[in-house]
Structure 1
Amino acid sequence: MGKITQEQRNLYFEKVKEYKKLIEARLSKEKTLQELLNSDDPGVAYKRIAAAEEALNVASHYMLVNSVSVALLGIKNEDYLAEARRAIARSIKHFEDTVTSYIDAPFSDYEKNLEAISDLSPQSRYQLLMKLGFAIKELEDAYGEMSRWKWAFIELWGKYATVAKNLLDLKNLPANLDFDSPNREVTYNHLTMVKRLFRDSADKYREKYEIFSNKAEDFRIAILFLNAIRRVHAVLGDRDDVEELKKKADIWTAKLESDIKKKEAPKR
């Protein structure tokens, strides 16, 4: 990379000045929404959703500044990427506070949370999830494959998968998938997303265990994701998938138990 000229710097700072104003406006709006979350009114869940979306808007502007830095200066802006990461984390936390962060739990455990946002249409839920997924992918791509945050993104994708599943109305899932349902297409797309995300998260957490952390907790989380998506397939009556996922979870559990015994053996 060549030396950055003063002309490049001036152009960069001029562009950033414009985006900083937009960021400040978005942050102000997010702060206002945050303050409204302290109230106990019945509509607080919808305000959390609004705050989650606004945090994503903030993140997108931070990543835009990084893109300008790469285009004009040829370098990443790590500070703005860090702010984007924090904004995405805030967004996910709002979603978790709305529909819980339960990876594998009976629908009855968080059904009331969904009732609190019953007026949020299946289309709106799916669009929000698409926006969140796009933000995570954009941030991951901005950091690059060799980033020190590589393994941290597995947790981020796992949290995303979890809120995606918990935003899905499992009670009315079969009815919404009916050919006569106006929500059929968007529900099918949402469900397909959840299935893919959960299988991917299971595989990624196992990969993290095998290659990076060697922590049993990562493998346990991987198994949780398998059991959780098996629960969804059970709701749909997908016997083959239920059986396949059960076998896979059993094999992984046996592998984890074996690994733990091997680690403990030298200590005896």
Structure 2
Amino acid sequence: MAKISEAAKAECNRMQNKYKELLHSVEVEIDKLEKELTSTEDNFEAAKKKIDLAVLYIKASSFVATICYISIEHLDIRIENQLNDGRRLINKAIMLLEEALGDYGDDSLSLNDEVHEYLKDKFSDEWRYKFICSFGYVIDYFKFCYGENSKWLQNFIEIEGRLALLSKNIIDFKSYIKELSPEIEGYIYRVKLMNLAKSLISASAEQYRTKYELQDRRPDDMKMALNLTGTLRRIYVYLNEVEEAEEQKKIYDLWKKKLDTDLKAMKK
């Protein structure tokens, strides 16, 4: 490694300190909201606070990623411990969102109707779409900072799979069709979010299938791919997109047959 100049170190510290201050401010907000959450008895109000807290965790993780990126850019040093801290913040955010919105993918599209009824006027369609986009950007930021040869990249397959399901569960399916008119406020973002959810679920299913094929053929990976594919098919059925739904059924049946064949072979 080339010798790092004092000027480079000083500039790195100067830039990092700005984001460390921002990180500290968010951590203060997190502590405050966590205390409020512990004393919140109403389940719907708690769900709202969990989403707000998840937003803060994501914001904190983005500052951690930026601090790491500055180190990479100025010193050519990748500090994995810091990156792991940021990844843990992402996982905390996901857990909170799953508690608030659900983590399911293989059941009804409207298991969280009552939560959505409560949240309807608290998070606009525009906010929901931009939130999922920004969360995805933060995840991509971390993947870039880890580097393409990092052992931790495999962990992001699970993270992105959970985000894909959250992108579905943040949609109010009970009202979606009824509000599918350009004249109703938020129409563009409702459609954008639905298309984004379909895209994320499809990409995640393919990632799990590829992981199953190219690594150690863990049945759980293929089962997750099947879960996501089944979820995507249910969305297409709900939207009356018949050809797309039939295509997903073919994919599901093909992958299921592959898994069943492999499981039989493993038992021999």
Settle same-fold status: TM greater than 0.5: yes
Map of 1:55 onto structure 2: 57
Map of 2:129 onto structure 1: 126
- 8 Å contact from structure 1 (residues 175, 181) kept in 2: no
Map of 1:152 onto structure 2: 155
Worse-superposed segment, 138-147 or 34-43:
34-43
Map of 1:18 onto structure 2: 18
- 8 Å contact from structure 2 (residues 110, 172) kept in 1: no
Map of 2:102 onto structure 1: 100
The question of 1:193 aligning with 2:196 is answered yes
CA RMSD of aligned residues (A): 1.5
Shift in Å, 1:234? 0.9
- 8 Å contact from structure 2 (residues 12, 70) kept in 1: yes
Q: How many residues align?
A: 265
Separation of aligned partners in 2, 1:257 and 1:147: 32
Shift in Å, 1:168? 0.7
- 8 Å contact from structure 1 (residues 114, 169) kept in 2: yes
TM-score norm. by structure 2 comes to 0.94
Separation of aligned partners in 2, 1:62 and 1:16: 9
| Letter paired with 1:66 | C
Separation of aligned partners in 2, 1:64 and 1:179: 38
SS state of the match for residue 181, structure 1? coil
Structure 2: tracts of 5 or more residues without a match? none
Shift in Å, 1:172? 1.5
The question of 1:44 aligning with 2:42 is answered no
Map of 1:230 onto structure 2: 233
Q: Structure 1 runs of 4+ off > 6 angstroms?
A: none
Map of 2:3 onto structure 1: 3
SS state of the match for residue 151, structure 1? helix
Map of 1:30 onto structure 2: 30
Shift in Å, 1:79? 2.4
Separation of aligned partners in 1, 2:131 and 2:180: 20
- 8 Å contact from structure 1 (residues 177, 183) kept in 2: no
- 8 Å contact from structure 1 (residues 45, 116) kept in 2: no
TM-score norm. by structure 1 comes to 0.94
| Letter paired with 1:122 | D
Map of 2:119 onto structure 1: 117
- 8 Å contact from structure 2 (residues 30, 57) kept in 1: yes
- 8 Å contact from structure 2 (residues 182, 188) kept in 1: no
SS state of the match for residue 177, structure 1? coil
Shift in Å, 1:177? 2.4
Structure 1: tracts of 5 or more residues without a match? none
SS state of the match for residue 105, structure 2? coil
| Letter paired with 2:16 | V
Separation of aligned partners in 2, 1:95 and 1:124: 15
SS state of the match for residue 152, structure 2? coil
Task: State the identity as a percent.
Answer: 28
SS state of the match for residue 215, structure 2? helix
Superimposed CA distance per residue, residues 10-54 of structure 1 (whole angstroms, 9 cap, x where no aligned partner): 333343333322212211111211122221134222211111111
Map of 2:69 onto structure 1: 67
